[in-house]
Every structure is written in C-alpha cells, then in structure tokens.
Amino acid sequence: MHSIAVAAALLVLPVLALAQSGSPASAPETSAGATRDIFDDLARASLSRLDGQVSLRGLRDSVQVVRDRWGVPHIYAHNLDDLFFAQGFVQAQDRLWQMEMYRRTYEGSLAEILGAEYVRHDRLARLLKFRGPFDDREYSSYHPEGKRIFQAFADGVNAYIRQAAAADRLPVEFKLTGIHPKPWTPEIALLRTQTALPTSAAISELRLARDVARLDVDSANKAARPSPYRDLVVPEGLDVSIIGADVIAGLQGLRTGVVRPDLLPEYRDAAGAASENPGAQENSPGRNNDPHRSVSNPSTRYIVHVNAPGWNVIGATEPMFPGVMIGHTGRIAWGLTIVGRDQAEVYVEDVNPANRNAV
C-alpha cells in the first residue's frame, strides 16, 4: 500500500538489476599500490544507485527501470513526459561526465577547465554555434512533440544532478577535477549542429578557391576530382586571390574528440606506458562500420529501451540525446551512416568601413 500511495513521486529501480550483476569485485593490486586503491574506493563510492526506489520531483506517475544482465536500461512509463524524463535521468546516471564534456566542447567553454590552449577551439565553437531561434518550428523539425521531449529529457538530467550532488555521489571525475556539472537545457542536444563536418567542407571550398588562383579553373577542378564530375564555375566578380592561408587557419582548431582534463588518471598499456587509448580504429574495406564511429571508451553510443503508450523502441542513441538513433520497434528496424557531404557555403563579404560591426 505504501508504494502505491507514493507511486506518483517515484522512479522505481528494481533490485533485480543488482541481483543479476552480483557484488563488485575487490580492486586488484597494481603497481600504483595504495594510490590506485584510494582511487578505486573513491570511484566505487561515486557509483549511481541502481536498485530500490527514489523519489523525484517532476514525474507525473510511476516509472519502472529494469537493467538487464548487460546493464541495458529498459524504461517503462505511462506517458511521454515521464518516459523522456526517466531517459535523461538514467543516461545521466551512467554518462554524466561524458555529457558534461560534450556540452563544454560544443558550447565553447573548454578553456575554463583545460586552459589557454583551448581558447582557439572555444572561439570558433561560439562563432559557429547555432543560436536559434529555438521555437516550435525548430523543435517540431525533429518530432511533432520535440519541445516536450527535449524539455523532459533535460529535466531528468537535472533531477539526477541534484540528487547526486546532494548525496555526494557525482561521478568520480567531478570529484577529482573539482568541476560541478551545469544545468542541462533542451537546446544542448542541438549544439551538435556545429561540428567539424561543416567546417571541413568550408575548408575544402577555400582550398579549391586557392587552387583556382594558383592554377586555373579547369586544372583546379580536375585536381579536386568532383564525383560525379561537373564543371566548376567561379561566381562572377569573385576575386579568389584574396583568399589567403589565414582565412583557412581561421576555421581550424575545433576539438571534437573526447577531451580529458590532465587531473584524470591516465590509461596505461600492458608495458606501463601512458596512452590516451582512443580505441580500435576501423580501417577494413566494406561497410561493416557504417555509422563511421570509432570504438572508444566511453562509447559514443548508449543502448536503451524506451516503452510508453505509443512508444516501444530499443537501440542505440548517444548519451546526450533522447530517443533512439539506430534500433528497432516490434515491426521495423533501421540504421544510419555518417557521410562527408558538403554542408557549408563560403561567402566573401564586404565589411562596412564606417562600422565594422554592422550586420
């Protein structure tokens, strides 16, 4: 009766998950000795609670999360808002540090924690960042209920941040670095519209323009080997000779890989040498790695099952995003690929000499 009476305020995390996984093994002895043991103890003490019941403000009804033998969360909710609130909460439980580094990378705030060498990245990230308008038209382009979904997901992330901070159980990376996670907003997931892909496309166009100035139109086009082949036309009145190396340099410097503050422990290989351990690199022929993502730790992907009235889908998302990107329902399955399409246009603009800040 007690659990039913308070069900509307609960996110239920069954004890079954812990029973399946068993008790944590004791930390192995390593050459790091006592220091490594202290880190292991701190890391284990910072792990999220994955069993029992937790009361959370913001839920409309009870939600059940069952973690299977592989740790995959299966989320069962009674409505859309609770479903994505719970997804935000659960993904933050498992990947909050990764989510924080993503946010800082794409909003341009890495230099705050990593120092001056990231100022160049931050400046370019802020210069190219999509700034809206974040209105109904923008959100509905992703889903008819896009605004509700992104907001519910952000609310769930923030619910976990508040709970973990109050219990002194934020992920160990936050304790080691002294960083505190900032609140999540619905717009953060859309920061990925500013990535290295459009920047690379723009740099390619600038290099082509420099080749036209250095060679000629036909020679530059043949060297570029467009596929399918098409004639290159230089806009009338455009003086490509004014595009110097400094213009290309202005678009370089984005850091889109995994960032790691120096305070975090380094991965060491079998010989004891420090390594960033970026993971296996796919270089085989064919399409057996079609999303074109490297194997990394933490993984780019996050496996999740979301179930509510009108929703029943399982597959891979990324920790920062609600829903499922690659997966299946009870009727259909789908995949995706990341390709290097031309996503940028480069313009030469004349600045108002009387007011260089004029739009």
Residue 52, pLDDT > 70, answer yes
Q: What is the mean pLDDT of residues 127-136?
A: 86
The more confidently predicted of residues 35 and 285 is 35
Beta strands in the chain (DSSP E): 10-13, 52-55, 63-67, 73-76, 267-268, 274-275, 302-308, 311-317, 326-328, 333-334
According to the model, what pLDDT value does residue 28 have?
45
Q: How do residues 142-193 score in pLDDT, each as one tens digit?
A: 999 999 999 999 999 999 999 999 999 999 999 989 999 999 999 998 886 5
Q: What is the mean pLDDT of residues 267-296?
A: 59
Residue 24, pLDDT > 60, answer no
Cβ proximity of 263 and 205 under 8 Å = no
According to the model, what pLDDT value does residue 17 have?
30
DSSP H helices, 145-195, are 146-166, 172-177
According to the model, what pLDDT value does residue 255 have?
77
* Average pLDDT of the chain, as a whole number: 82
Residue 8, pLDDT > 60, answer no
Q: What is the mean pLDDT of residues 258-284?
A: 58
Residue 253, pLDDT > 60, answer yes
Cβ proximity of 96 and 160 under 8 Å = yes
Residue 29, pLDDT > 80, answer no
CA separation for the pair 9, 62 (Å, rounded): 7
Q: Which of 321, 283, 330 is nearest to 300 (CA)?
A: 321
Q: How do residues 213-238 score in pLDDT, each as one tens digit?
A: 999 999 999 999 988 899 999 988 88
CA separation for the pair 190, 139 (Å, rounded): 9
Those residues with Cβ within 8 angstroms of residue 278's Cβ, 6 or more apart along the chain or in another chain: 257, 258, 294, 296
CA separation for the pair 145, 83 (Å, rounded): 13
Cβ proximity of 278 and 296 under 8 Å = yes
Those residues with Cβ within 8 angstroms of residue 189's Cβ, 6 or more apart along the chain or in another chain: 150, 153, 320, 321, 322
Cβ proximity of 52 and 167 under 8 Å = no
Residue 33, pLDDT > 50, answer yes
| Token pair 């209920």: residue | 145
Cβ proximity of 135 and 201 under 8 Å = no
Q: Which two tokens stand for residue 56?
A: 């959370």
CA separation for the pair 95, 113 (Å, rounded): 19
Cβ proximity of 159 and 58 under 8 Å = yes
User: Taking the chain, what is the end-to-end CA distance rounded to the nearest angstrom?
Assistant: 64
According to the model, what pLDDT value does residue 21 have?
39
Q: What is the mean pLDDT of residues 64-92?
A: 97
Q: Is 207 exposed, middle or buried (0-12, 13-18, 19+ CB in 10 A)?
A: middle
Can you give the three-state secondary structure of 36-80, one letter per residue?
A: HHHHHHHHHHCCCCCCEEEECCCCCCCEEEEECCCCCEEEECCCH
What is this structure's pTM? 0.80
According to the model, what pLDDT value does residue 347 have?
83
State the Cα angle at 176 between 172 and 177, rounded to 5°.
120
* Structural element, H or E, at residue 113: helix 111-114
| Token pair 């700034």: residue | 131
According to the model, what pLDDT value does residue 27 have?
40
Residue 209, pLDDT > 80, answer yes
According to the model, what pLDDT value does residue 313 have?
97
Q: Which residues pair with 267 in a beta bridge?
A: 275
The more confidently predicted of residues 333 and 37 is 333
